[in-house]
Structure 1
Amino acid sequence: MGAIPSARSHPRTRLEAEPVPESKHRPPESELGPLAARALAIVRLRLFRRAVLVLILLASVIVGLETYPAVDDRIGGLLRTLDTVIIGLFVVEIVLRMVAYGRRWPRFFLDPWNVFDFVIVAVCLIPVGSQAAAAFRLVRVLRALRLLTSIPQLQIVIGALLRSLPSIGYVGMLLVLLFYVYAVIGTTLFGRNDPAHFGTLHDAAISLLRAVTLEDWTDLMYTQMVGSEAYPGHLPPPTEPEPRAMPILAVLYFGSFVLVGTMVVLNLFIGVVIGALTEEQKAAADRALASAAPTDADAQLERIERQLEHVREQMQGLRGALRNRPRP
């Protein structure tokens, strides 16, 4: 008997294009009738998914072209005809996906991504008058968001962002606290020299937002270093400033804020999102392995290797805990 090829000999990048994972709400194929089974086979076709992706891109391009008056005057009728055809094809796609659930078609709406697609397509079917044409165009451009459901890798990114929201909230609280402390200090130190940027607490907070995004933050620092008379700001001061040069305090204030706010706190946001993205990629890979065919030897072997790796990590943690445990 030949050796089973190792899954590691065929590495898979988790963000590579691969078949869309099956919905956990879909009934087993054994419970589907002939029509539902046929619809499911069509929905699973790679060509079907690529065709839907092309339609989404084409619909987005049409909405963009209609924003040019010259293009709309020349081929506006053709664009609207194409748009009507695309909407009809979207309806056919949604119907096929619902039929693929068989008699349990209401379970189609248990998947949030399915609800997302259904709502966008349904809104495009609402008849509107000429006065609401601009609003209708805004609704139609939302069809570009269907790329989120057509490209699994985008679903991973969205899932990672949602997973990271709690941690981002805590990092945001830290950033708000940093802004508040530095705004109070800046108002106290530089309020008289530069009342346009540090005259009030909210003015100071806006100036710090400008500094943390590195948008001409050095101009703010130079005004405090040499005084507002030698280096006036861009905004007209609400009151008459009292020029005062504070070179050392200005360098310490802005240098520490930019270092902490930009290099540390904002990088925390990036670190949190990257960590959540790694977890979401691992979860997506696990779901793909769980939905793999039982006869897929590579998928079975990769699933077992993942389980063994998880067991090894737990054993290492237990060994470390035992080594660090105080001896009686």
Structure 2
Amino acid sequence: MGALARLVESGPFQGLSVGVILLAALVVGLETYPEVLRALPWLPALNALVLGFFILEASLRLLATWPRVGRYFADGWNLFDLVVIAASFLPETGPYAPVARVLRLLRVLRLVRFLKELQIILLALARAIPAMGYVILLLFLHFYVFAVAGVFLFRENDPVHFANLHTALLTLFRVMTLEDWTDVMYTQIYGCDRYGFGFAEELCTSPRAMPWAALYFVVFVLLGTVIFLNLFIGIIVNTMDEIRRRHQEDPPPDPQAVELAQLEADLEALKERVRRLRERA
């Protein structure tokens, strides 16, 4: 089975797998257009061919580990491949059809298996989560303090954006994403009767101009968008650099070398068993 192992780990075979995954992603995207489905009635057949290749690839990888098939199921990527294949057999008719189509998007995630840089990014994100815990806590406190202050300061003038705590939190999330955040700020600076309430003038019952509100929003944006965002980026970048350095200093073992070492261990165990049988005889 060494030949099969070399085949599935070879560059051309992996390149073919990446090409089929990209083709699967293209097919899923085209199927979102009803007019394309009508113009290209052979798309379902192409989708079936893609599924057939995935099944063939999984079968070859399983056979490559024979007779120690446990090694196949010990690999998380192989288990993910089986989940993708199983999801492809869900019926695309009936009430669960949208779910089946969405699950087919899992095929695109198989790219991570073949692209080492993507693996490093995902691994960095996973390993950075513990380090980001305190940053997330600080960010939550930042939101909470400014939201409570915003309710006390701006509720009368702007009941749309600062009526209560959860509304203020959503408003501040919008402000941090910089999505028309100046509209929210100008509503407080000029008052709801002069800016921002043209869509709901009946809600502007207590207009109040607060020029100093600019300080509130500028400080919130600087802290939330600049400082905290850079902290997140810095943690992730440092984690990625550490992972790359570890890969360079201690590269992953060659699959063929691992298989050879396992065969040698099995051979030594077999020799020991033969020696014991001879001693008993």
Matches within 5 A, 1:69-218: 69-76=34-41, 78-124=42-88, 126=89, 128=91, 130-131=93-94, 132-218=96-182
Aligned to 1:198, what secondary structure does the other structure show? coil
Work out whether 1:42 is the aligned partner of 2:7. yes
Tell me, in whole angstroms, the C-alpha distance in 1 between the residues paired with 2:112 and 2:255. Answer: 23
Tell me, in whole angstroms, the C-alpha distance in 2 between the residues paired with 1:238 and 1:184. Answer: 25
Work out whether 1:53 is the aligned partner of 2:18. yes
Deviations 1:68-95 (A, max 9, x none): 222212322x222222122111111111
Q: 1:47, CA displacement in angstroms?
A: 0.3
Tell me, in whole angstroms, the C-alpha distance in 2 between the residues paired with 1:255 and 1:158. Answer: 33
Q: 1:49, CA displacement in angstroms?
A: 0.3
Q: What are structure 1's unaligned runs of at least 5 residues? A: 1-35, 295-328
Identify if the C-alpha distance between structure 1 residues 130 and 261 changes in structure 2 by more than 3 Å, giving closer, same or farther. Answer: closer
Q: CA RMSD in A?
A: 2.2
Identify if the C-alpha distance between structure 1 residues 234 and 291 changes in structure 2 by more than 3 Å, giving closer, same or farther. Answer: farther
Tell me, in whole angstroms, the C-alpha distance in 1 between the residues paired with 2:140 and 2:248. Answer: 36
Tell me, in whole angstroms, the C-alpha distance in 2 between the residues paired with 1:118 and 1:224. Answer: 55
Partner AA of 2:191 in structure 1? G
60-69 vs 184-193, which moves further: 60-69
Contact 2:157/2:206 (<8 A) preserved: yes
Q: 1:239, CA displacement in angstroms?
A: 4.8
Tell me, in whole angstroms, the C-alpha distance in 2 between the residues paired with 1:40 and 1:291. Answer: 12
State the aligned residue count: 256
Contact 2:139/2:228 (<8 A) preserved: yes
Q: 1:43, CA displacement in angstroms?
A: 1.2
Identity across the alignment (%): 41
Identify if the C-alpha distance between structure 1 residues 119 and 189 changes in structure 2 by more than 3 Å, giving closer, same or farther. Answer: same
Deviations 1:245-283 (A, max 9, x none): 2212x1221111111111101221111111111122223
Q: 1:171, CA displacement in angstroms?
A: 1.5
User: Which position in structure 1 is the counterpart of 2:243?
Assistant: 280
Tell me, in whole angstroms, the C-alpha distance in 2 between the residues paired with 1:145 and 1:209. Answer: 29
Aligned to 2:86, what secondary structure does the other structure show? helix
Identify if the C-alpha distance between structure 1 residues 188 and 293 changes in structure 2 by more than 3 Å, giving closer, same or farther. Answer: same
Identify if the C-alpha distance between structure 1 residues 158 and 257 changes in structure 2 by more than 3 Å, giving closer, same or farther. Answer: same
Tell me, in whole angstroms, the C-alpha distance in 2 between the residues paired with 1:108 and 1:238. Answer: 66
The alignment's TM-score, normalised by the length of structure 2, stands at 0.83
User: Which position in structure 2 is the counterpart of 1:28?
Assistant: none
Q: 1:108, CA displacement in angstroms?
A: 1.4
Partner AA of 2:229 in structure 1? L
Contact 1:196/1:235 (<8 A) preserved: no
Q: 1:208, CA displacement in angstroms?
A: 0.9
Contact 1:213/1:262 (<8 A) preserved: yes
87-96 vs 283-292, which moves further: 283-292
Partner AA of 2:60 in structure 1? L
Deviations 1:135-167 (A, max 9, x none): 332222221111111212111111111111112
Identify if the C-alpha distance between structure 1 residues 127 and 220 changes in structure 2 by more than 3 Å, giving closer, same or farther. Answer: closer
Tell me, in whole angstroms, the C-alpha distance in 1 between the residues paired with 2:127 and 2:30. Answer: 36
Work out whether 1:251 is the aligned partner of 2:214. yes
Identify if the C-alpha distance between structure 1 residues 74 and 230 changes in structure 2 by more than 3 Å, giving closer, same or farther. Answer: closer
1 or 2 for the larger relative contact order (CA 8 Å, sep ≥6)?
1
Work out whether 1:64 is the aligned partner of 2:29. yes
Tell me, in whole angstroms, the C-alpha distance in 1 between the residues paired with 2:256 and 2:67. Answer: 24
Identify if the C-alpha distance between structure 1 residues 135 and 275 changes in structure 2 by more than 3 Å, giving closer, same or farther. Answer: same
Contact 1:39/1:96 (<8 A) preserved: yes
